[in-house]
């Protein structure tokens, strides 16, 4: 696992540079997209690079996770967030960006179909990740099986409190359930690029980099990945030895 400590703007450039390098070498690459605050500067940088000629016209992308039950037009539905923050700003082909269907009548079937779609696309080449203050990646909360696949999960109170800022500050408005790629699903991506900034992430980053691999800090499974890049600012790195 390579750990880079740098200012947030530099981290965004490094992550965008990894995506650009991949797309230039493999224009039909499969990207893995995260939501939340952490990747926003990366998406800004990718949108900027797209204006300078970086093309996503042959690429595809899979989202990490989705809330269960948010109406199709809800601005915080992750499908809509990804559309706004990156998909609509670059030239992905129509329907090239997929996410788990949090409105499916049969959620387990939707999860299985999502796994098949990722596998059918040949797997994810580069997965962008954030990390929760409780150490989750995607929505694999503490206690998630290290062998987990895409499934329904219950969000922890801590995650719902962390995400209340996207719902007008109301924890009660944050959905209780989500569909998320599993840890084993994520580990099959060929390159993992995790971004973390701010002191609130310091404990999770400490566990990720220096803790024992444990389902109680799910991101620690990244220690077993052959190509994992962890991009952190000084505050997020403040508990590293």
Q: Residue 190 carries which DSSP code?
A: S
In the bound state with ligand F6R, the residue whose beta carbon lies nearer, of 55 and 203, is 203
Among 64, 70, 183, 208, binds ligand F6R (CB under 6 A): 64
CB of 38 to ligand F6R, least distance (A): 3
| Minimum separation from the CB atom of position 27 to ligand F6R (A) | 25
142 in Cβ contact with 218 (< 8 Å): yes
Which of 53, 168 has the CB closer to ligand F6R?
A: 168
Q: C-alpha distances in angstroms, 195 versus 35, 39, 120, 198, 233?
A: 12, 7, 27, 10, 9
Site size for ligand F6R (CB under 6 A): 14
Grouping H, G, I as helix, E, B as strand and the rest as coil, residue 103 is coil
Residue 45 CB, nearest approach to ligand F6R (Å): 16
Contacts to ligand F6R from residues 114-143, by CB under 6 A = 130-132, 136-139
Give SS3 for 69. coil
Closer residue to ligand F6R, CB minimum distance, 29 or 131: 131
Residue of the chain from 4, 18, 37, 211 that contacts ligand F6R (CB under 6 A): 37
What x-and-dash track marks residues 143-172 binding ligand F6R by CB under 6 A? ------------------------------
- Go through 167-185 and write b for each residue having 16 or more CB atoms within 10 A of its CB, e for each that does not: beeeeeebbeebbbbbbbb
Three-class SS state of 136: coil
Angle at 146 between CA 225 and CA 39, to 5 degrees: 60
214: DSSP letter: B
Nearer to ligand F6R, 24 or 165 (CB): 165
For ligand F6R, which is the closer residue by CB, 34 or 97?
Answer: 34
Using rule CB under 6 A, residue 80 touches ligand F6R: no
Query: What's the rounded Cα separation, in Å, for the pair 98 and 92?
Result: 11
Q: From the CB of 94, what's the least distance to ligand F6R, in Å?
A: 22
Closest CA to 111 of 68, 144, 61: 68
Query: What is the set of active-site residues?
Result: 65, 134, 136, 141
Phi and psi at residue 208, to the nearest 5° = -55, -45
Contact call for residues 150 and 182 (beta carbons, < 8 A): yes
Identify the residue among 8, 12, 23, 35 touching ligand F6R (CB under 6 A): 35
| Cβ at position 194, least distance to ligand F6R in Å | 9
* DSSP state for residue 213 in the 8-state scheme: P
Q: By CB under 6 A, name the binding residues for ligand F6R.
A: 34-38, 64-65, 130-132, 136-139
């Amino acid at each position: 696992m390579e750990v880079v400590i740098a200012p947030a703007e530099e981290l965004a450039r490094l992550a965008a540079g990894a995506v650009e390098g991949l797309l230039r070498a493999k224009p039909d690459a499969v990207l893995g997209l995260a939501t939340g605050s952490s990747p926003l500067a990366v998406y800004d940088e990718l949108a900027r690079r797209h204006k300078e000629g970086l093309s996503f016209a042959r690429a595809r992308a899979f989202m990490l996770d989705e809330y269960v039950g948010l109406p199709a037009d809800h601005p915080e539905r992750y499908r809509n967030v990804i559309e706004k923050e990156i998909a609509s700003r670059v030239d992905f082909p129509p329907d090239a960006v997929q996410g788990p269907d949090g409105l499916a009548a049969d959620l387990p079937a939707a999860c299985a179909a999502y796994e098949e779609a990722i596998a059918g696309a040949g797997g994810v080449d580069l997965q962008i990740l954030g990390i929760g203050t409780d150490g989750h990646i995607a929505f694999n909360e503490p206690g998630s099986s290290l062998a987990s696949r895409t499934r329904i999960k219950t969000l922890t109170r801590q995650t719902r409190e962390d995400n209340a800022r996207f719902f007008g500050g109301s924890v009660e408005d944050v959905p209780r359930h989500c569909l998320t790629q599993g840890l084993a699903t994520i580990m099959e991506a060929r390159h993992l690029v995790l971004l973390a900034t701010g002191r609130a992430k310091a404990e999770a980053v400490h566990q990720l980099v220096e803790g024992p691999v444990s389902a109680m800090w799910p991101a620690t499974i990244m220690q077993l990945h052959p190509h994992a890049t962890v991009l952190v600012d000084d505050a997020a790195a403040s508990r590293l030895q």
